[in-house]
Every structure is written in C-alpha cells, then in structure tokens.
Amino acid sequence: MSLLVIGSVAFDALETPFGKTDKIVGGAASYISLSSSYFVKPVNLVAVVGGDFLKSDIELFQEHGVDTAGLQIKENEKSFFWSGRYFNDMNSRETLVTELNVLGDFDPIIPEAYQNCEYLMLGNLAPQVQRTVIERLQNRPKLIVMDTMNFWMDIAYDELIKTIALVDVLSINDEEARQLSGEYSLVKAARKIMAMGPKYLIIKKGEHGALLFGQNEIFYAPALPLEDVFDPTGAGDTFAGGFIGYLAKAGDVSFNNMKSAVIHGSAMASFCVEKFGTERLVNLSQEEIDARVQLFADLVRF
Amino acid sequence: MSLLVIGSVAFDALETPFGKTDKIVGGAASYISLSSSYFVKPVNLVAVVGGDFLKSDIELFQEHGVDTAGLQIKENEKSFFWSGRYFNDMNSRETLVTELNVLGDFDPIIPEAYQNCEYLMLGNLAPQVQRTVIERLQNRPKLIVMDTMNFWMDIAYDELIKTIALVDVLSINDEEARQLSGEYSLVKAARKIMAMGPKYLIIKKGEHGALLFGQNEIFYAPALPLEDVFDPTGAGDTFAGGFIGYLAKAGDVSFNNMKSAVIHGSAMASFCVEKFGTERLVNLSQEEIDARVQLFADLVRF
C-alpha cells in the first residue's frame, strides 16, 4: 500500500496557443503525488522547494493526502523554475528558462516514517539522485517505477544506465526509447531496454496512447481523442502517478493488473491536459475518474 | 454481399532500408481487391492496365476470386508506374518517378454484371473518376467507402469535395484529415469532415493505429507493434480492402460491426507491411488471419 514519491516540486510558467500563466505549481512530483492521491493515501513525498514556495500550495498537497514531512524547505533559496512555450501542434515545445535553484544540490533525505515503503515512484530527476533514494531505503520496495527523459540520456548517460538497472518499470516516451536503444522499431527498442534491467517498459506516445511491454507480452492503451489539448505539461507525470497509485491501491503487480494501471494512468493524464498545470488535478471526483476510465474501455471494445 | 472495387492497378518500384524491387504489381485496387478477397468473393474489379501488364499477374488476381471482366487492357499503352524510396524511419518517403500512362485518361466502364453491387470501394484515384463510378451505377450501393490522399486536396480540391459529399465512409490519414479540415484536433477535424457528407470517417495513423468516427461515437483500433516494417506501400489500401470486405461478408453496416471491420482491416495491413508489395497478401491462410485478429484483441484487452 505505502507509496513514496520523489521528484521535483517547482514553479512553471507556461505559454500555449490557448494562453499563458505566471508562475504556477509544477514539477514531476507535484503531478505524480496529486494524481496518485486519487488511488492511495498517504502519498509520501520527498522533494525540495525554496522559501518562495507558498504555504497554501503545500496545504493543497496535504488536503489531497500528500504527506509533506519529506518536503525540504530551503527558506533562503528559490524553488526550481521552468518556463516553456508550446507550438501550435502541442507536440513540440521550447524551453525559455530553466533555473535549477534548490534542485542543484538536492539531497533526498528519507524520513524514518517513509522507510519500508512498498511502492517507489522515481519522478524525473538527475539519475544519481534517483539512485540515492533506492540506496537509502533499508528494504527494497516491492515495485520501483522510474520516469526519466532524453535530457539525462544526453548529459548523464552512465548514471542513467546504472539507475535503470535497479528499477522494475521504466517509463519514457517513444523518442526517448529510440534514443536510449538506438532502435527505431519500438518492439526491438523495448527488448534492448528491458535487457538493461527493467522487467517492464512503458512507452508513452502522447496523443497516440501508451505501450506496456512485459517479457513476452504487449499491451496497447489508447489515448482518448480530445477536442483540445489545453496544456500538455505534466501529462507523463500524471500518467505515472495514476499508474503507480492504481497498483499500490490494488497491491497487485501482475502484468494483467498493470494493464488496468496503464488505463487509469492514461485517464488521469487525459484530465491533466484539459487545463493549465495541476488545475484540473486538484478538483477531480471519483465519479469523474470512473466515467473517464469507462470511456477508455468503450473506446477499444469491439 | 457483392463488392465493386475501383482504383489503380499498376507497377511499383520500391526502395526501403531493407532492399529494393524492380517493377512489381502495385496500385490501390490491387491491394484492396487482394485484401478483400479473403472475406468475400467475387471481388469485382474496375481498373485499367497497359499491354505491359503480365497475364500471369491477372491470373493471380483471378485465382484469388477477383473478377477481372472490368479490368481494361490497353495493349498499346503502358501501365501506371510509380517509384518511391522510403527513408529510415519508414514514415516518410520520396517519389522518384510517376508515369500516369493509361491512368491519364481512365474512363471507368462498369460491366453490366457489376451493376447492383451493394458495396462500393473507391480506391485512391482522381476524385472525378471516383464520382463517375457512383454516377454510372443504376442503384446506389448500400455502402460507399472512399479512400483518397493529400495529392487531390492540393490539385483537385473542388472535385474532391463534390465526391466526398456522396460517400458513406471516408478513409484518410491523420495529416490529410488535418489538411482537409484545417483543424489540428482530430476530434474537431472529424466533425468538420463528416459535415461535408460522410457519416463515418476513418483516420489512419500508421504505426499508431486507426480511429473510426461515427456521428456520436469513436473507436480506437491499435496497430500491432511490429518487429520490422519491411515495406509500408499499400498498407492503407490493404486496410480499406479488409474493412469493406469484412462488412460485405457480414452484410452489416452498423457502427458496432464497423469496429470489427476496422480491426480486420488493421490485421490485413499488418501482414501487408511484412514483405514487399503484395507478396504477403497473395499467400495468406484463414488461420493466419484469425490468429492475427486475436492478437489485436489481446493487445487492448484489460
């Protein structure tokens, strides 16, 4: 049941064809913990913010069942900040500003109460920091899921490979799977990546859905065709949060249950992109989630 | 039951990262009629070739239950010829040669025995030629499916719109749906395109599967993740052939049955890309098709 989430909690400033925001709450761990909180509570969070992070935003996490005992607050520093602009097709974006700030020397301290977690979600971060978390846990969790991105393939390849070798499920997008494996065919890419350590691989394909690979099994989860994608930021993190939250709730890490977890993650991601940032994620009802999962089921039933 | 197929029967010369071919049988109607022949016989074919087309290739069609009474042979002219080269990702290609030859002034003559067809498949051709076929049928078929491509959107837009208005199902790819509608969102694109006439729209997304839109319904058919795509030529036509062949066999044009038809079309397309040209399509067994359809079912079941 117990879920530990690590990743960035940050400020984002976003610009899409539909509008722009000032600094709003962002960061992989924000999306992951809010998303997973609809499945399991508490969500134990390990992250770092600066003195500029609002108390009311921390309270918002707490109201969703996120335990923030592991959220370090560096009063005299500033929170990680990222600013980006999406192009018209919403599939590509440019980074305008990246300020590492507190994330630059983030030391992930695990509160004693967070030890013995059964489910560990490593949100996108420097792979050596992700690995430190695994090393600091006294017992290996039942399931470790790791999300990462091409940035670390470019600048920290060796560290990344060492960390990937330790996890059960790796979650990356299709371009990243191709980059990491050097294979264009996703079937071949999956085989190579699973040989690096993970028993399961999730390849996220955005508007084209997601693939879940096991040793001898493949599952294809569609994406819901949407009227508009308002803001894709955090969709992959929200997916990961729904995925591991569903597994932690069920306490079942079979491939069969992972299929349902992928669908629930996809459903959560489909909400995320409907509004800016985490806006949609903080106001969801169980009925809305159930109805959305049913839409996914109907979408592929024949 | 009775199915009429119109489109090009031609020679292709193909180059992919896996090899290259001399002139082999190609053309939309070749793929469509071979694919649909696994579901319904006879497939009545209306097309035109030159004197250079091999008698043995025509016999191959006949052996698959394709009636070639409507295949015009212009002894002193040459068959339509297209040559293309695929790039490494197999998703983009360049045209090396296009020789219209007999297709330049193709007059689609419908043999009397082909009248009263219930299912009409308009393979990719000049839209005015596709429309002529509809006009020459004494009774409107129960279902008209039309495939087309961006080329006609560029050079024959008005003719295309007039023809689209007359059909029940339009089949195009995602980029073409965006071009035709001026909408990036496929949901919005589908709504606009269906307002042009078709009651149903199929959006083909290649390795990402296909979407079937009805007035208030959406179905998402996955594509089978493949080890290798050997040659994508004709995959869309093969899909269309499987789609209409399945419908014609069942005699059921409900949305529900169209979902199964999309899966069967996708399964046929997944065979097509395994070898060059029509090579894989002329050597399929019912058992192979059933097993492949089962793979598609397993792929999305959760």
Give residue-wise pLDDT tens across range B66-99: 999 999 999 999 999 999 999 877 778 899 999 9
The tokens for B136 are: 């020459």
DSSP B113: G
Domain that holds residue B25: 3-300
Instruction: Please give the mean pLDDT across all residues of chain B.
Output: 96
The rounded distance, in Å, linking the Cα atoms of B267 and B219 is: 16
At residue A88, the pLDDT reads 76
Strands B200-204 and B169-173: parallel
The C-alpha angle A69, A289, A117, rounded to 5 degrees, equals: 30
Say if CB B101 and CB B50 are below 8 A apart: yes
Say if CB B197 and CB B167 are below 8 A apart: yes
Residue in A187, A222, A227 nearest the CB of B220: A222
The rounded distance, in Å, linking the Cα atoms of B40 and A126 is: 58
At residue B1, the pLDDT reads 67
Chain A residues with CB under 8 Å of B188 CB are 227-228
The tokens for A230 are: 């308002």
- Residue of chain A nearest B217, judged by CA positions: A299
Quick check: B218 and A299 CB within 8 A? Answer: yes
Q: How far is B252 from chain A (nearest CA, A)?
A: 14
Average pLDDT (B142-159) is 97
At residue B89, the pLDDT reads 73
Strands B24-26 and B200-204: unpaired
A68 closest CA partner among A46, A87, A90: A46
Decide: helix, strand or coil at residue A175.
Answer: helix
Quick check: A218 and B229 CB within 8 A? Answer: no
Quick check: B222 and A300 CB within 8 A? Answer: yes
Quick check: A209 and B219 CB within 8 A? Answer: no
Least-confidence region, from A3-7, A86-90, B227-231, B254-258 = A86-90
- Per-residue pLDDT tens over the stretch A40-94: 999 999 999 999 999 999 999 999 999 999 999 999 999 999 999 998 777 788 9
Element containing residue B5 per DSSP (H, E): strand B3-6
DSSP A233: T
B126 closest CA partner among B98, B107, B111: B107
Quick check: B222 and A222 CB within 8 A? Answer: yes
Quick check: A300 and B89 CB within 8 A? Answer: no
Quick check: B220 and A225 CB within 8 A? Answer: yes
Residue in B187, B211, B302 nearest the CB of A219: B302
Strands (E) located in chain A? 3-6, 10-16, 19-20, 24-26, 43-50, 66-74, 81-86, 93-99, 119-122, 143-147, 169-173, 200-204, 210-213, 218-221
Cα-based distances in Å from B297 to A208, B96, B262: 18, 38, 12
**Residue spans of alpha helices (H) in B111-234:** 127-136, 150-155, 157-164, 174-181, 186-194
Q: How far is A232 from chain B (nearest CA, A)?
A: 14
The tokens for B201 are: 């729209």
Size of interface A-B (CB pairs under 8 A): 81
- Residue of chain A nearest B187, judged by CA positions: A227
Quick check: B188 and A227 CB within 8 A? Answer: yes
Instruction: Walk along chain A (302 residues) in steps of 10 and give the mean pLDDT of each run.
Output: 94 93 97 98 98 97 98 98 88 90 97 97 98 98 97 97 98 97 95 98 95 97 91 96 98 98 98 96 97 96 93
Find which of B220, B293, B299 to mutate to test the A interface (most A CBs within 10 Å of its CB). Answer: B220
Domain count, chain B: 1
The rounded distance, in Å, linking the Cα atoms of B141 and B153 is: 25
At residue B90, the pLDDT reads 76
Residue labelled with tokens 């990702």:
B89
CATH number at residue B92: 3.40.1190.20
Decide: helix, strand or coil at residue A212.
Answer: strand
The rounded distance, in Å, linking the Cα atoms of A133 and A123 is: 11
Cα dihedral across residues A175, A176, A177, A183: positive or negative: positive
Residue in B211, B225, B228 nearest the CB of A225: B211
The tokens for B25 are: 């049988």
Distance separating the N- and C-terminal Cα atoms of chain B: 34
Quick check: B187 and A90 CB within 8 A? Answer: no
CA A179 to chain centre: 20
The identity of residue B53, as a single letter, is F
Quick check: A222 and B218 CB within 8 A? Answer: no
Quick check: B263 and A88 CB within 8 A? Answer: no
Say if CB B262 and CB B220 are below 8 A apart: no
Quick check: A185 and B300 CB within 8 A? Answer: no
Helix axes B286-300, B255-272, angle to 10 degrees: 110
Quick check: B188 and A218 CB within 8 A? Answer: no
Quick check: A299 and B219 CB within 8 A? Answer: yes
The rounded distance, in Å, linking the Cα atoms of B225 and B233 is: 17
Cα-based distances in Å from A52 to A12, A21, A72, B80: 13, 17, 13, 69
- Per-residue pLDDT tens over the stretch A138-156: 999 999 999 999 999 999 9
Chain A residues with CB under 8 Å of B228 CB are 185, 188
Q: How far is A255 from chain B (nearest CA, A)?
A: 10
Chain B residues with CB under 8 Å of A90 CB are 184
- Which residues pair with residue A45 across a beta bridge? A5
- Residue of chain B nearest A222, judged by CA positions: B220
- Residue of chain A nearest B218, judged by CA positions: A299
Most confident of A84-88, B61-65, B224-228: B61-65
The rounded distance, in Å, linking the Cα atoms of B15 and A74 is: 60
Chain B residues with CB under 8 Å of A185 CB are 226-229
The identity of residue B41, as a single letter, is K
The rounded distance, in Å, linking the Cα atoms of B45 and B66 is: 7
At residue B60, the pLDDT reads 97
Cα-based distances in Å from B240 to A44, B73, B126, B206, B228: 51, 25, 17, 13, 22
The identity of residue A123, as a single letter, is G
Average pLDDT (B282-296) is 97
Chain B residues with CB under 8 Å of A223 CB are 220
Residue in A211, A222, A302 nearest the CB of B263: A302
The rounded distance, in Å, linking the Cα atoms of A64 and A20 is: 26
Cα-based distances in Å from B260 to A195, B4, B219, B267: 36, 21, 10, 11
Chain B residues with CB under 8 Å of A221 CB are 300, 302
Q: How far is B98 from chain A (nearest CA, A)?
A: 29
